[in-house]
Structure 1
Amino acid sequence: MIPLLLPATSEARRPFVCRVQDSADNLSDAADALIVGSDVAEYMLSGRDGVFAVGRGGTQSLAGDVLLVDPENGRAERIFRHGSRHNTLLVTERCDQLCVMCSQPPKKTHVDRFAYFEEACLLSAKDSVIGISGGEPTLYKEELFRLIERTAEVRPDVGFHILSNGQHFTADDIERLRQPAYRNMIWGIPLYAPNAPLHDEIVGKADAYARLLESFAVLMRAGARVELRTVLLSPNVASLPMLARFITRHLGFIECWSIMQLENIGFAKNRWSNLYVDHRRHFGEIAAAIDTAQMRHVPVRLFNFPRCTVPANYRDLAPASISDWKRKYAPACEGCNEREACAGFFEWHPDADIGRVTPL
């Protein structure tokens, strides 16, 4: 598992953002910090906030990484890892839903770090696509919109993929979302069922389904790009074909539909036996949903599905979707011809299931 938090020591009086460089020739921004020494335990760096140390934590190199160094708590957060396609900003841990399978159980408190995140975005690699997640980011919609707009003004090459529960868009947002700053981004929004009772039960919020449909109307009128997301669960697997019909009839504007396998963490960990669906045994429902969507020209992807567990004629829909820092493979995957294209498993996926792979 790739470490995202590293021990750090600094005499700075406040947290600061920096981009790590391993050569003075690469210094191009005031926020760049140069590696001036290292040993088996840590790197020594020098930048505008003084000299500071960051632990190696098993990392091969920090060069190119963007860090948020927190002197008071003695840690450095790897906000952006150089060369990774899986960099995500956790902008809040508050949420107004309580999904039965939530992988990031919400907290009641919020720490505002938008200013640091904005600075980090400006230091990101060229043509980066930055994930934004929570909690629910649109609980702080104005701060979120300003982050997007300010980044677009200075770094129009940077894109965003923002996960949201879709509960907070209003007609007042339409004109703003039509602006150029929002063209290089996509909203990832969940819909778990084709009807209100089941969707509301899964997300733990009354009237969430109705409010979500209102937000979809706003996003459609704004011309926003939307990725629809559905986590595969025991309560909703039988309704997937019906959900596909609903999507093709009412949400045809979406860019794609991602059907996602469950993650064994957060609330799902203690509810695994009641929520997890073995898709190898229930692929008929999934296939019917895929066929319906594709016949109506709605692209479908299968996220978090190891490729060897998907029938051959649907295998190309299963990309390497699990973030590199929390992905693992079974020992038997070592000789698989499709390992590089495969999602593998979450680091915390049950070992008993991992042992059932069949290398391709």
Structure 2
Amino acid sequence: MIKDCKYRPLFLKGKMGQGSYSLVSVCKSEESLDKKCKAKVILKSKTFIKGYDAYVFQSENVQEKVMNYLKLNNIPYICGVDEIDTLVDKDVIEMDTDRSTIKVLYRANSTDNVLMLTNKCNNNCIMCPDSLKVRTENKNIPLSILKKYIELIDEEVKFLCITGGEPTLLKKDFIEIIRYLGEKLPDTEYLLLTNGRMFYNKNFAESFLKSTPKNLITAIPIHGHYPELHDSISGVKGSFIQSFYGLKNLYELGGKIEIRVVINKLNYTVITNIAAMISNYFPKVVRVNFMAMEMLGNAVVNKEKVWIDFNSVQEKLKEAAFILLKSGIEVGIYNFPLCSLDESIWNLSVRSISDYKIRYKEQCKECSVMKNCGGFFNSTINMKDLKVNPIQ
């Protein structure tokens, strides 16, 4: 199994730490990053430099006089951090000094960064890569923390994905975060991942659109072309009506919309019907993306109900794509390896899997189009009926 060359861990572990919880940007080089909260990363060859808000040491054995200085001034630090060399200038990290762990929230050299607002969700999708337990724990991120995170993000960031859980469940705080993003990062392109149900309330939809940055697209999934099918996949009765009319409200109010169709065993035979419905009701959406599943969480628990091998989907996927293309709608195909797609729709395939999740099978090294192929999720690559057919 081959890892993508861009792989960078999101979690780093140290040996010991001290101080309060810290949300800081990374500084490895000597020059200032012009940010209020900076963490100085010190490699073995570096000497101690004063004046930073937090410190990360590669060495486990830091000089006693350095430790005394940090303790006396109540400055957070973590020592003996593995893979410290994977951090880069302007990363935003969350330092948990009690556990001596670092979570990389924003990767400065990545085009695939996420702003997660909450783990909670008002759906329980049968193929969700999160588990029901994860989505029902009370882990809403305080508004003050979210704002601080946004302030630390490099102002030149090109793209940011806003996600959850279900971000809109934060209600007024959600609207405030959307407004704040437009104020602090006005030139960034945004993709909001939401089930769209809260936009069923037209007043909420209007408040949202009044606050959105100029480059924000709202991505809403449609799981079926009639309520019973959609609701059986979302796990909530009545969710189709709310998602459909939430989408309709945004559409009629001029919002930029992407519709997503996550393909699974329950809906793969009717994705042509879903495509026809979209063409009839929402012909001016920005795009429609067909997506293969990430086999984690609920998707694994419900594997027998939802898993369908890529090759079984090929003909219906091709037909659905052409229905939309003939209506003038842009189409993307996500998370499918090229060898599982008809060659006539290769140009619709997107290298979409996050860089730290991409994997390839050993046979993929023999494939002539591997560099253009999105590969597999690290959680999906070992499904027993997952086969590859290297293209020569």
Q: Normalising by structure 1, what TM-score?
A: 0.91
Q: Are 1:121 and 2:158 counterparts? A: no
- Secondary structure of 1:229's aligned partner: strand
* CA drift at 1:181: 3.8
Q: 1:113 to 1:325 in 2, by over 3 A?
A: farther
Q: In percent, how many aligned pairs have the same letter? A: 23
* CA drift at 1:30: 1.7
Q: How does 1:206-221 map to 2 (within 5 A)?
A: 206-221=237-252
* CA drift at 1:231: 0.9
* CA drift at 1:85: 1.7
1:52 to 65, 77, 93: 77
1:95 to 121, 127, 141: 121
- Secondary structure of 1:47's aligned partner: coil
* Partner in structure 1 of residue 35 of structure 2: 29
Q: Structure 2: which amino acid aligns with 1:95? A: C
Show CA shifts across 1:209-249 (max 9, x none). 11112211221133221111111111111111111110000
- Secondary structure of 2:271's aligned partner: helix
* Partner in structure 1 of residue 320 of structure 2: 289
* CA drift at 1:338: 2.8
- Secondary structure of 1:324's aligned partner: coil
Show CA shifts across 1:75-119 (max 9, x none). 221001121122213321211111111101222322324422322
* CA drift at 1:355: 4.7
Q: Are 1:70 and 2:96 counterparts? A: yes
Contact 2:224 / 2:274 at 8 angstroms: preserved in 1? yes
> Larger C-alpha radius of gyration, 1 or 2?
2
Structure 1 residue ranges without an equivalent (≥5): none
Q: 1:259 to 1:84 in 2, by over 3 A?
A: same
Q: 1:114 to 1:55 in 2, by over 3 A?
A: farther
Q: How does 1:145-184 map to 2 (within 5 A)?
A: 145-169=175-199, 170-179=201-210, 181-184=212-215
Q: Structure 2: which amino acid aligns with 1:240? A: I
- Secondary structure of 1:25's aligned partner: coil
Q: How does 1:112-261 map to 2 (within 5 A)?
A: 112-125=141-154, 126-169=156-199, 170-179=201-210, 181-261=212-292
Q: 1:45 to 1:277 in 2, by over 3 A?
A: farther
Q: 1:249 to 1:177 in 2, by over 3 A?
A: same
Show CA shifts across 1:122-168 (max 9, x none). 32231331112221111112212211211221221223212111111
* Partner in structure 2 of residue 5 of structure 1: 11
Contact 1:227 / 1:254 at 8 angstroms: preserved in 2? yes
- Secondary structure of 1:314's aligned partner: helix
Q: Structure 2: which amino acid aligns with 1:228? A: I
Q: Which of 1 and 2 has higher RCO (CA within 8 Å, sep 6+)?
A: 2
* CA drift at 1:192: 0.6
* Partner in structure 2 of residue 107 of structure 1: 136
* Partner in structure 1 of residue 365 of structure 2: 334
Contact 1:36 / 1:46 at 8 angstroms: preserved in 2? no
Contact 1:67 / 1:76 at 8 angstroms: preserved in 2? yes
Mapped to 2, the partners of 1:242 and 1:185 lie a distance apart of 28
Paired residues, number? 356
Mapped to 2, the partners of 1:132 and 1:192 lie a distance apart of 21
Q: Structure 1: which amino acid aligns with 2:19? A: A
Contact 2:95 / 2:103 at 8 angstroms: preserved in 1? yes
Mapped to 1, the partners of 2:82 and 2:116 lie a distance apart of 21
Mapped to 2, the partners of 1:297 and 1:218 lie a distance apart of 21
- Secondary structure of 1:264's aligned partner: coil
* Partner in structure 1 of residue 58 of structure 2: none
* CA drift at 1:193: 0.5
Contact 1:257 / 1:301 at 8 angstroms: preserved in 2? yes
Contact 1:94 / 1:108 at 8 angstroms: preserved in 2? yes
Mapped to 1, the partners of 2:278 and 2:77 lie a distance apart of 52
* CA drift at 1:174: 4.2
Show CA shifts across 1:249-284 (max 9, x none). 001232111111111111111322331222313322
* Partner in structure 2 of residue 358 of structure 1: 390
